[in-house]
Amino acid sequence: MALHTHKVLLTGFEPFGGETINPSWLAVKALHGRKMLGRTVVAAQLPTVFDDSLRVLNALLREHQPELVVCVGQAGGRHAMSLERVAINVNDAPIADNAGAQPIDTPVVPRAPVAYFTTLPIKAMLAALQKEGVRAEVSQTAGTFVCNHVFYGLMRTLATHQALRQTRGGFVHVPWLPEQGAPHMSLEDIVRGLRAAVRCALQVQTDQALGAGATD
Ligand code: PCA
């Protein structure tokens, strides 16, 4: 049986689409090495590249055997931190990734299920973020670009690897920073929101346990 390492893995992405910063990486980097409820946060950057992103993520999962994984990405145009509910088995890139690839209607993993749900307690996390005064929402789509690709690959790996069977994981999209355009959120709020989200996920196993209701 795998040992529990008491680690939380947070990932952010490198800038993409011609931008020079990505708030997802800046935010998780700010939490690297922090202790949360007795666990140590490990932050890592993923390439915004379809192929390489999952290679890097899977290597991090093997190395750290984390108890909890939250992958974070930028979603320009969203006004709130988006707690993603579902990853779908499709790549349909609206723009080229950082290696110039633009897959259209290909599976993330061939002959694998259509979708996976997050195993994070997103309703409890929503309440935790709102209590912190950070704008948040449950989102029903992580898109069809590299973020959904990573989210699907994460959930597929967690679902199929015996050594990771106790690891829970999911995906959070964050808005632009003020210097990138509107709508935006401050880095301070994004970091505070992620911290509250992780602490909540460490304390609450599932939303079923909470009996949480619908959000809309
Ligand atoms: N956001 C992109 C990929 C990398 C990132 O930060 C997305 O939403 O797919």
Domain ranges of the chain: 7-209
Instruction: Determine the atom of ligand 1 nearest the C-alpha atom of 147.
Output: 9
Protein residue with its CA nearest to atom 7 in ligand 1: 147
User: Is residue 74 in contact with ligand 1, taking CB distance under 6 Å?
Assistant: yes
The fold of 7-209 is Aminopeptidase (3.40.630)
Q: Which long-range contacts (CB under 8 A, 24 or more apart) does 16-22 make?
A: 16/48, 16/95, 16/97, 16/98, 16/146, 17/95, 19/180, 21/177, 21/179, 21/180, 22/48, 22/73, 22/74
pLDDT reported for residue 3: 46
User: Is residue 152 in contact with ligand 1, taking CB distance under 6 Å?
Assistant: no
Read off the pLDDT band of 47 (50, 70, 90): very high
What residues are annotated to the active site?
A: 84, 147, 173
State the distance from the centre of ligand 1 to the C-alpha of 83, rounded, in angstroms: 14
Its pTM stands at 0.95
Question: Cβ of 83: how many Cβ atoms within 10 Å?
Answer: 27
Q: What sign for the dihedral angle of Cα 28, 107, 112, 84? A: positive
User: Between 214 and 92, whose confidence is greater?
Assistant: 92
User: Is residue 47 in contact with ligand 1, taking CB distance under 6 Å?
Assistant: no
Please say if the pLDDT value at position 4 is more than 60.
no
User: Is residue 87 in contact with ligand 1, taking CB distance under 6 Å?
Assistant: no
Per residue in 148-189, pLDDT (tens digit) is 999 999 999 999 999 999 999 999 999 999 999 999 999 999
What DSSP string runs through 69-83? Answer: EEEEEE-TT--SEEE
Please say if the pLDDT value at position 34 is more than 90.
yes
